[in-house]
Amino acid sequence: MGRRMKMKLDDLWSELEAEARQITEDGILKRLLNSNSACTMYAGVQRPSLNRLFLMQAPRILFPSKEHMPELRGFDLNVHVTGEEPETHATIILSANDPVFNEVFSVMLVNLYESLQSCSSERQAMHTFLQKLGQWREFFERNSINGLSEMAQRGLYGELYFLKKFILTKEDYFISGILGWTGSKNRQHDFQFGDIALEVKTCITKQHQKMQIANEQQLDETLVAYLYLFHLSLSVIESHVNTLPAIITDIREMIQSVYGALSHFESALMERGYLDIHNDLYLPRGYAVREENIFRVVDGFPRLTERDLPIGVGDLSYSISVAECKKFTAPFDEVIEHIRRNTK
């Protein structure tokens, strides 16, 4: 649905831009997007800048004050009022203020449109609109407009590799497995299944391999009943078939048979900073698996925790040797079965 709607929006904006170039008057050209939802929505183009617009009408009384309107880097948000009475409908206008944001604007607008379509009242639509804008503001604060860094791409690939190979093996696990992918929500661990937590560390370094640990809580097993560490060693191979977009396509096709699974997955990808519009950046870089291990984090495991640190010391990152972790290797079958029992 989302990709089809994006193509529709892009085609509509292209038509509006072509029409706008043929006229000389300043103003807004717009086209109705919907006819059967709680609020009226339009796609538009501003003359003469050709900035892309999204317009939504709602009763003026529902609009928050100007100081409570969210601000998004690269976008403008304005309210146009056509009357003086409180019940008068006003139009909220969201625009991309630079063509470099057009592609991301399309993705953001599909997300807004699909969320607003399900609203049953104008009040709910306004609440949803502002909530979604707040989520997108957080997205832009956390992520680059130009896509994921090479390190972030590898990290995401490793998490998806684990999810696809070990968790999404049956339809019964699709939704609970994706909801257990907490790395997309910036939680302490990459996966959380009941009282089991699991970290994924993806490496491309040569021997002797090391894993980067983000902070003193990441490998603290006292915070959960069971803590595992999945290590994935990759070789980066240009033009290899196993790319980040490829594994995402595989998972999308795999889970679409279960209602709600794909929606949860798309939301998790967005929270992780992944957008399809950056695929050209990701496609040249492929991955071949060299080695995979799973370790149980218990007493004696090579790590630092809060209890190991002097008073006043914190917020540290450090590396650990894969070779030193191997004495804590856990049987794959037993660990995965343990996780699956907590995934249903």
Buried b (16+ CB within 10 A) or exposed e, 272-311: bbbbbebbeebeebbbeeeebbbbbbeeebbbbbeeeeee
Last residue of a domain, one of 81, 108, 142: 142
pLDDT 10s digits, 115-127: 898 899 999 999 9
Domain shared by 165 and 88, yes or no? no
Give the pairing type, strands 318-321 and 75-81.
unpaired
Domain shared by 325 and 180, yes or no? yes
CA 138 to mean position of chain CA atoms: 11
CATH of the domain at 40: 3.30.1460
Domain shared by 40 and 128, yes or no? yes
Euclidean distance between CA atoms 318 and 320, whole angstroms:
7
pTM over 0.85: no
Report the 10 Å Cβ neighbour count for 245: 15
Domain shared by 162 and 129, yes or no? no
pLDDT of 2: 63
pLDDT of 200: 96
Provide the domain count of the chain.
2
Domain shared by 214 and 269, yes or no? yes
Q: Which of 202, 268, 210, 281 is nearest to 235 (CA)?
A: 202
Last residue of a domain, one of 142, 162, 193: 142
Domain shared by 89 and 126, yes or no? yes
Domain shared by 229 and 293, yes or no? yes
Residue stretches of the chain with pLDDT short of 70: 1-3, 82-87, 184, 186, 205-207, 312, 314, 344
Domain shared by 177 and 65, yes or no? no
pLDDT 10s digits, 289-335: 999 999 999 999 998 887 777 776 767 888 999 999 999 999 999 99
Domain shared by 134 and 157, yes or no? no
Domain shared by 164 and 40, yes or no? no
Residues contacting 209, CB < 8 A, separation 6+: 203, 231, 233, 321, 322, 323
Domain that holds residue 210: 150-341
Helix (H, G, I), strand (E, B) or coil at 305: coil
Helix (H, G, I), strand (E, B) or coil at 18: helix
Last residue of a domain, one of 102, 125, 142: 142
The DSSP annotation for 92-107 comes to: EEEEESSGGGHHHHHH
Domain shared by 268 and 189, yes or no? yes
Residues contacting 194, CB < 8 A, separation 6+: 342
Reported as half-sphere exposure (CB side, CA atoms, 13 A), residue 187 has a value of 18
Cite the beta strand spans of the chain per DSSP E: 27-32, 40-47, 52-59, 75-81, 89-96, 191-193, 196-203, 210-213, 226-238, 285-296, 318-321
Structure-token match 């949860």, residue found: 264
∠ CA 157-296-316 to the nearest 5 degrees? 70
Q: Which of 243, 278, 268 is nearest to 145 (CA)?
A: 278
